[in-house]
Amino acid sequence: MTIAIMSAIPGELSLLRQRLRGEVLLVESGIGKVNAAAVTAKVILEHQPDTILFTGVAGCIDPSLSIGDVVIGERTIQWDAGVAGRAGFDVYQAGHIPFFNPTDELGFQPSSELLAAANEVAGSLTLESVLGRVPEVTEGTILTGDQFIDDPAVRDRLHAGFGAQAVEMEGAAVAQVAAEAGVDCLVIRALSDLAGGDADIDFTSYFPAVAANSARLVGRIHDSILA
């Protein structure tokens, strides 16, 4: 069993290096969908992983969640992929066009076994306090797009449109490449900001504590899969 653990930026991976022991495949994807997809393809071709875990931080778009909470992605969707017509923009499955290669699918999902393993680990793990509260781990939908969201109106529109919990810039692109190659993929994101006007400041302020919790959870999931 080979597991590749991927993250967008070096700070997230350095925390994982501190927690994981033995021979571990850790990969920095870079920021954005193109970087993430290209690196994922390279990892699959060169290392043939059975599973990819993509981790890191994300913006919170669900008002019921808070900075520090962690979202286990039961589905990842590229919210900026679709059809722009006269009536507006309709999100559609990335890699498909309705009139050429239509599909009823929207987004990408991990296997039920991988999702269950992650939730089992999460249920037995207490995360470190962030902003005076112990963060929650929840299963939900993670949105991916090539924009850093820092606008309450966009944040609220994305939550209303998808019922999603988090927004980021890589996960669903990784999942798309993995799905094409038949590789199981799970995206896990810790919420570092509220995507609403001060997201850049929140990201900088809370990244260390939030990313550490994400790394701790992913490390435990990694160990559980290999056990």
Residues with catalytic roles:
12, 193
- Report how far residue 209's alpha carbon sits from residue 212's, in angstroms, rounded to the nearest whole number: 5
Please enumerate in sequence order all residues whose Cβ is within 8 A of that of 105, keeping only pairs 6 or more positions apart, or say none: 93
Tokens of 21: 């022991």
Place of tokens 């990819």: 52
Neighbours of 160 (CB within 10 A): 10
For the record, the structure tokens of 199 come out as 């997201």
Neighbouring C-beta atoms of residue 14, cutoff 10 Å: 14
Residue 132 DSSP one-character state: T
Q: Do residues 221 and 8 make contact, with C-beta atoms less than 8 angstroms apart? A: no
Q: Can you read off the two tokens belonging to residue 13?
A: 């991976």
- Residue 189 CA to residue 20 CA, distance in Å, equals 18
Per the structure block, which two tokens stand in for 112?
């039920």
CA distance 66 to 133: 10
Rounded (10°) CA dihedral 148, 219, 225, 48: 60
